[in-house]
Structure 1
Amino acid sequence: MIRFLLRFTGFWLLAGGFVALIVDGTRSIAASGLVLTSAGDAWFALAPGSLERAETSAKAGMPAVWNAVLLPLLSMPAFALLLLIGLILMGLGRVRERSRFEIG
């Protein structure tokens, strides 16, 4: 059941990453230059209140984690972050093939 949830969530994150890539590509063509939406900008556009709450709670609890880990992740292009997390979840939820030499 957990593998299914990991694959299901990973699939939707991959789909979201491809949608973000298409949106950035369309904006880049319209602007005649490379336009990339950062993950932080996308999060702020979707739910600004939750981003602010996450920032204040992370800075209050562990400011080093916010500065060293979360800020670089939020500055990544949104499509790259979604694709990366989606691939990781798909890999964690993959069904292993049984070896024909395995006993049991």
Structure 2
Amino acid sequence: MIIGRIFGWILTGSAFLVLGHDLLQYLDSETWHSILLGELWFMINPEGLNLTQAIIQRYISPTLWDPVILNFLLWPAWLVFLVSGLLLLVLFRKRRKAEGRFLPS
């Protein structure tokens, strides 16, 4: 449970960092360009992106890469991180104990 919440907070924080980067780029150039998930992945680890593409196309399914994963990699990185992080935070939230609801009288 706690690992899911920690990972959710990391993703949510990463979303705001990437969005802050996009805003600073906008203030510098006065044109909005949101960094894409695939672009960010390529900047961080280009070999990992190429290896993942080769493995998925060769061993899993070529059609899984092109219409599904490629479209996902073309989404803004901050949006992917924010939605994923908030989803994890909701799924792994602390649940309140039902105190006194079903006590026998």
Please, what TM-score do these two structures have when normalized by structure 2? 0.88
Task: In structure 1, list runs of 5 or more residues that go unmatched.
Answer: none
- Displaced runs of 4 or more, over 3 A: none
Task: In structure 2, list runs of 5 or more residues that go unmatched.
Answer: none
Please, what TM-score do these two structures have when normalized by structure 1? 0.89
Q: What is the Cα deviation at residue 24 of structure 1?
A: 0.3
- Which of 11, 15, 32 is matched with 1:17 structurally? 15
Q: What is the Cα deviation at residue 69 of structure 1?
A: 2.0
Q: What is the Cα deviation at residue 81 of structure 1?
A: 0.7
2:66 maps to what in 1?
67
Larger Cα-atom Rg? 2
2:35 maps to what in 1?
37
Q: Report how many residues are paired.
A: 101
Q: CA RMSD in A?
A: 1.3
- Larger RCO (CA under 8 A, 6+ residues apart): 1
2:75 maps to what in 1?
76
CA separation in 1, counterparts of 2:55 and 2:17? 30
CA separation in 1, counterparts of 2:35 and 2:80? 11
Please tell me the residue identity of whatever aligns with 1:13: L
Q: What is the Cα deviation at residue 102 of structure 1?
A: 4.7
Q: What is the Cα deviation at residue 68 of structure 1?
A: 2.7
1:93 maps to what in 2?
92
